[in-house]
Structure 1
Amino acid sequence: MLRIASLNINGIRAGHRRGFDDWLATRGCDVVTLQEVRAPLDKLPENAFGDYHVTYDPGQLAGRNGVAVLTRERPAAVRTWDAEVLVRAPGEDHLHTEPAPDGVPLARGLARHAHEGRYLEVDLADAPVTVASLYLPKGGLPAHLQRPGRMREEPDGGVRYEWKMRFLAAFARQLSRTRRAAAARGREFLLTGDLNLAHTRLDVAAWRRNQQSEGFLPEERAWIDSQLSPRTLVDVVRRVHPETEGPYTWWSWLGQAYARDAGWRIDYHLATPRLARSAVAAEVDRDHRGERLSDHAPVVVDYDFPG
């Protein structure tokens, strides 16, 4: 059995204050992927990643992004979009990064994002699986949907929206290359992380009034459609829970969204078909001992897969 979890921790230091270290020590995961770690190496909490080998790309944007993969064994290989990555065993405390081996060449349009700490993948040493952690940009609204006074941010004429759509187009090309490269190495492929996209009506509690909201726009939903098929990648949680509303993975800190379970499912496990078929359980840990670890919740899947 292989238990894999993914969590947008929304800051590793805040996560530790909310009990992430105890969740990590007691949940029994073999692999944990993290997004928005948001800490330079010298600001990581003591024992930040528990009794795990950590591979961490902090990126170069102060206080933003950062992705990590925690594993029980040192990864057999590590690949990232940037040149440097922290690889550290349990009990080590060094802060220097080391060069990551060259991976799949970056698709056109991704080089500008290589330094942002958005993507990292490892080959597991104890199972024929490549696991990736992705933090996809949030984006914004297209210009024609922007209404001054009805938005939290200042209208930008669609700049953030267009930036996200360009990222999605480039990442689609990269994802296809990466999945094929894993297959060529004899490995299944699993993309985990915060996609900042909800796919269907089952994935947003208030889907009717959110059809013109960023993260649930028709073109964003169509992008997820284009990545999924019985031959390429499968939405594992939706396969396990085909008719369930949710299970939601993100709730606003504002108002009563969390208490009313008025959430969004925007955190995913997207797996190659053979690995997806092996999933026997999929859960969202809404809290840990009554405490929210983040505005997101861990998505935990058990795979009955050799390892």
Structure 2
Amino acid sequence: MRRIGTHNVNGIRAALRRGFAPWWAQTNADVIALQEVRCRADDLPLEAFAGYHATLDTGTLAGRNGVAVLTRQIPSAVRTLGGTVTTIDPHGAQEHTEVDRLVSRDLAPFAREGRYVEVDLSDTPLTVASLYLPKGAAWPYEDNSQEKYDRKMRFMRGLARLLTVSRRRSAAEGREFLVMGDFNVAHTKQDLRNWRTNQKSEGFLPEERGWFGSITGPRTLVDVVRALHPDADGPYSWWSWRGQAFANDAGWRIDYHLASPSLARSATHAFSGREASYEERISDHCPVVVDYGVGD
């Protein structure tokens, strides 16, 4: 059994001050995907990764983006869009390492932004990826927003092809495949509380929802949490810091586990780690954790 989680931390240093480390220590996950690390490599708080081998693509945009995968054992292979990572071992030793580069014409403009990293686990036949997809914009419903809209559309086109390649490579090598993270898309009406008033909002545009449907399916990638909770509203993973969104559970489900079909079928339990109160929030996103029957 492997417990695997994902968490958009909205800044690892801020999340650490708010209780990131004890939450994950209690959860005892074997693998953790992080998004929006938002920290330069040389400033990373090493105590956040204690007990894990951390593989990070921090990107080059100061204070923005950054993805990571934390594993109990050092990965056997690593791939990113930019071809470099920062690694931190459980004792705090840090290195900057060149790794295999994932080549994609559509994703090339994003190569230095710290948006995608994938690792092959060395103790389980599984490839795990951490993703932070651009937020985009609600063009043409918002003025002067087409550039952000077009960037997101381009990233999604490239990501669809990349996920197909990575999934097929994993299968050819006898590995399952799992991509986790912040997709910045709510797929269906079950995935956000106020769907009626958000049909012209970024993250719930028809073309975004259609794209998400195109990359998922029973023979490609399975939305694991939805498969385990087919009739539930949510469970949500993001709430605005503003107003009463958290208190009223007016959230969005935009953080996903998308797994190869056999891996998805092995999942036994999934939960959204929503904090008990606004004051206890670690981030504007909460962790999403799944138990998989692999590696036994």
| TM-score tier (shorter) | over 0.9
Deviation at 1:296, TM superposition (A): 0.1
Q: Structure 1 counterpart of 2:114, which letter?
A: G
**Residue aligning to 2:203:** 215
Q: Alpha-carbon deviations, 1:180-204, whole Å to 9, x = none?
A: 1111111000010000000000001
SS of 1:115's partner is: coil
Kept in 1: contact 2:76–2:120 (CA 8 A): yes
Deviation at 1:288, TM superposition (A): 7.0
Deviation at 1:48, TM superposition (A): 2.2
SS of 2:217's partner is: coil
Identity of aligned residues (%): 57
Q: Alpha-carbon deviations, 1:210-257, whole Å to 9, x = none?
A: 111110000000000100111100000000000000000000000000
SS of 2:79's partner is: strand
Q: Alpha-carbon deviations, 1:264-301, whole Å to 9, x = none?
A: 00000000000000010000011279711100000000
Aligned residues, how many? 295
Kept in 2: contact 1:25–1:51 (CA 8 A): no
| RMSD over equivalenced CA pairs, Å | 1.3
Which 5+ residue runs of structure 2 have no aligned equivalent?
Answer: none
The TM-score, its normalising length taken from structure 1, stands at 0.93
Which 5+ residue runs of structure 1 have no aligned equivalent?
Answer: 147-154
Matched, 1:136 2:133: yes
**Residue aligning to 2:98:** 99
Structure 1 consecutive aligned stretches of length 4 or more whose deviation exceeds 4 Å:
none
Correspondent of 2:121 among 109, 124, 131: 124
Q: Structure 1 counterpart of 2:105, which letter?
A: R
**Residue aligning to 1:40:** 40
Kept in 2: contact 1:19–1:288 (CA 8 A): no
SS of 2:156's partner is: helix
Q: Structure 2 counterpart of 1:50, which letter?
A: A
In 2, the alpha carbon distance for the partners of 1:138 and 1:231 equals 27
**Residue aligning to 1:294:** 283
Kept in 2: contact 1:56–1:69 (CA 8 A): yes
Q: Alpha-carbon deviations, 1:57-113, whole Å to 9, x = none?
A: 10011100000000111111111111211122101233x31111x25x422211111
Kept in 2: contact 1:18–1:291 (CA 8 A): yes
SS of 2:161's partner is: helix
**Residue aligning to 1:83:** 83
SS of 1:130's partner is: strand
Q: Structure 2 counterpart of 1:235, which letter?
A: D
SS of 1:215's partner is: coil
Correspondent of 1:284 among 272, 277, 296: 272
The TM-score, its normalising length taken from structure 2, stands at 0.97
Q: Structure 2 counterpart of 1:133, which letter?
A: S
